Structure 1
Amino acid sequence: MKFLTQSFLKLRKLQHRQLCNEARLEPVKLAYATYENTLPVQDIHQNPLVVMHGLFGSKSNWNSLCKVFQQKTKPSRKIIALDARNHGDSPHDPHHSYELLALDLKNFFDSVGIEKASVLGHSMGGRTAMLFALKYPELVEKLIVVDISPISTSPDISSMPIYMRALNSLKIPSNIPLSRARLAADLQLVEGGITDKNLRAFLLTNLIQTQNGSFNWRVNIPALLMNLDNIKRFPYEKGKVFDGPTLFIGGSSSDYIKKEDIPGIKNIFPNSAVQYIEGAGHWLHSEKPTEFLQLSVEFLNRPNTS
């Protein structure tokens, strides 16, 4: 594992260029997985559902849920799960902001020929989805935002740099089975102060073994750490609204969608509803998948009203 120092030096040289030249930055080509009905469908065109994960996530985290979405949406929708830049199988890039994440999504729509889709995003993916809907409302049929708000800043994430440095400083011997590597990494993360077992398990889904037997991260830790300020804020432009059907789903035990945010949410998304899943935290789709799927599928299957 490389330490952050060398990467920081390289990224600092690029930071000024990022601030000055962001308008000229190019989108990255996103990796994706599709879930669709292999049986013939008679004369029914249903817009696909595009799913975007949160920080440190990947499309693979949504595999089981995407299969259920494909089976339960009526008529059946094609489901597309994406990897954001600097995550999963998508390219690494020193630049990371919601403006760029939305640009990546627009590029994906253009490249695969999507004229309109429903969009679902969790946390970082939810803010990407919101910004995309505000910028390109003609491309979005329905919007589902999972445990994130456009109004308040994110809850305190001051511990995030500690987590990232702990990940980047792990020392794992090469040429051992991945299961042993994850066990060794888990023990080191505990020593590094990450005591939440579920959080460690989630983070370790990003540990991969390279062809030469060494281990690396699928997430671009130095770039995410350098761009934490961009990840914390939602770049809302005053006066913009998305008036398509929108559902916010929050966890009752999470503080990412505060009840005092709801009036402000409805100013930006006037055709929105906010629902909470009792006893769920920030990762409500994995903590309470049945309740999450019920709310999401009911919303997706509901006929649009003009």
Structure 2
Amino acid sequence: MSDAQQNLVNYEIMGSKGPTVLLIHGLFGDLDNLKRLGRELESDYRVVAMDCRNHGDSFHSETMTYAAMADDVKRLVDELGLQKISLVGHSMGGKLAMEFALTYPDLVQSLIVADVAPVAYDARHRHILDALEAIDLEQVSNRKEADAQLAEHIDDRGVRQFLLKNLQRENEQYQWRLNLPVIDRCYSEISAGVRDGEFAGPVLFIKGGDSNYLTEAHRDAVTARFSDVDIKIIEGTGHWLHAEKPRIFNRLVRAFLEQHSRT
């Protein structure tokens, strides 16, 4: 079955009035990751949170290119009958949001990108993939045991809790909701930069002050694609800025949307 024939990505809608805002999570995440932002916006916006392919409750596929994932977003937009949307994406989700805006600029009102540039990165998640694949699920009878195995490779308890959200129990056996084999095999696609092109609408980049995912070295790659750019920095945060200082992150997103999401 081709991707065009696959089911829609899994999604959840919060709010029922106002402009539509699509929230897109990062690698190893799901639609819950930006739900706090969704709740902040739902009184004034129609918020759609989605699971990317091979993540959460969305379909599994043999490819993870940004072009293919942008088409997933397009099918969702068509399914919901949307004319124009604003997008908020973190990390991989930020790249996907940029890819969609560059591919379908007429469908995008505004764009908010959290701590990522439109460029290729080195294998920053290799240790996480190796750690997840090292877990012997046949020897796991509860989440505590899975956490103990993961702790042999990852010290940060918060990161482990985030990753273990992807464990589910079916037929007395734990398994990953993530399509780990494909994510591993397609990691170079996930690490790749986004397409060339131009999007003339308003774009906000939000950078974690302590993160090196978005730096001055990325300026040319950003300005080559986006002409109306604002950059905000949340000091004292790393790559997970939306989780580390959610009030500030959500306030920046809301302020930008209030200025740019209404035609």
- Normalised by the length of structure 2, the TM-score is 0.92
Change (3 A) 1:118 1:243: same
Aligned twin of 1:36? 15
Question: For the Cα contact (< 8 Å) 2:66–2:96, is it kept in 1?
Answer: yes
Correspondence for 1:209: 169
Residues 94-134 of structure 1: CA deviation (Å, up to 9, x unaligned): 22111111010011111111111101111111101001000
Q: Distance in 1 between matches of 2:105 and 2:248?
A: 28
Q: Distance in 1 between matches of 2:130 and 2:101?
A: 33
Q: Which residue, out of 252, 261, 285, partners 2:218?
A: 261
Tell me the alpha carbon deviations over residues 227-251 of structure 1, each in whole angstroms, 9 at most, x when there is no partner: 00001111322xx110101001110
SS of the residue 1:118 aligns to: strand
The partner residue of 2:41 within 69, 90, 93 is 69
TM superposition shift of 1:171 = 3.7
What secondary structure is seen at the aligned counterpart in 2 of 1:302? Answer: helix
Partner Cα distance (1:304, 1:184) in 2: 46
Cα distance change of structure 1 residues 248 and 27 upon mapping to structure 2, 3 Å threshold: farther
AA matched with 2:160 = R
1:63 to partner: Cα distance: 2.2
Residue 155 of structure 2 corresponds to residue 195 of structure 1: yes
Distance 1:134 1:303, change over 3 A: closer
Structure 2 residue 135 is the aligned partner of structure 1 residue 156 = no
What percent identity do the matched residue pairs reach?
Answer: 36
Identify the match of residue 101 of structure 1 among 69, 76, 95. Answer: 69
Following superposition, the deviation at residue 173 of structure 1 comes to 4.5
Is 1:226 equivalent to 2:185 in the alignment? yes
- Any conservation in 2 of the 1:69–1:79 contact (CA below 8 Å)? yes
Paired residues in the alignment total 261
Query: 13, 24, 43: which one pairs with 1:52?
Result: 24
- Counterparts of 2:261 and 2:80 in 1: how far apart (Å)? 25
In 2, Cα distance between equivalents of 1:86 and 1:111? 20
Displaced runs of 4 or more, over 3 A: 154-158, 170-174, 303-306
Deviates more, 1:251-260 or 1:81-90: 251-260
Cα offset for 1:221? 0.5
Determine the C-alpha separation between the residues in 2 that align with 1:148 and 1:197: 23
RMSD (Å) for aligned C-alpha atoms: 2.0
CA distance in 2, matches of 1:30, 1:182: 27
Q: Is the 8 A contact 1:208 1:215 kept in 2?
A: yes
Structure 2 residues without counterparts, runs of 5 or longer: none
Task: Work out which of the residue numbers 109, 123, 137 in structure 2 matches 1:170.
Answer: 137
Letter aligned with residue 163 of structure 1: A
Amino acid at match of 1:200: R
CA deviation map 1:20-63 (0-9, x unaligned): xxxx74264111011114xxx6xxxx320000000010012222
Q: Secondary structure at the match of 1:236?
A: coil
Larger Rg: 1 or 2? Answer: 1
Whole-angstrom CA distance in 1 between matches of 2:91 and 2:122: 9
Supply the distance in 1 between the matched residues of 2:261 and 2:172 (Cα, whole angstroms).
Answer: 51
Q: 1:247 and 1:219, CA in 2 relative to 1: closer, same or farther beyond 3 A? A: same
SS of 1:271's equivalent in the other structure is strand
- Looking at structure 2, the residues matched to 136 and 281 of structure 1 have their Cα atoms a distance apart, in angstroms, of 30
Cα gap change, 1:56 to 1:156, in 2 (>3 Å): closer
Q: Distance in 2 between matches of 1:34 and 1:103?
A: 19
* Cα deviation 1:247-274 (Å, max 9, x = unaligned): 0111011111012212431221110111
Q: Corresponding residue for 1:286?
A: 243
CA distance in 2, matches of 1:271, 1:305: 16
1:296 aligned onto 2:253? yes
Q: Which sections of structure 1, spanning at least 5 residues, go unmatched?
A: 1-23, 175-180
Which residue identity is paired with 2:183?
L
In the TM superposition, what is the alpha-carbon distance from 1:303 to its structure 2 partner?
A: 4.6
User: CA separation in 1, counterparts of 2:126 and 2:150?
Assistant: 17
CA 1:303–1:217: 2 relative to 1, 3 Å: closer
Amino acid at match of 1:87: H
Structure 2 residue 59 is the aligned partner of structure 1 residue 87: no
Q: What secondary structure does 1:215 align onto?
A: strand
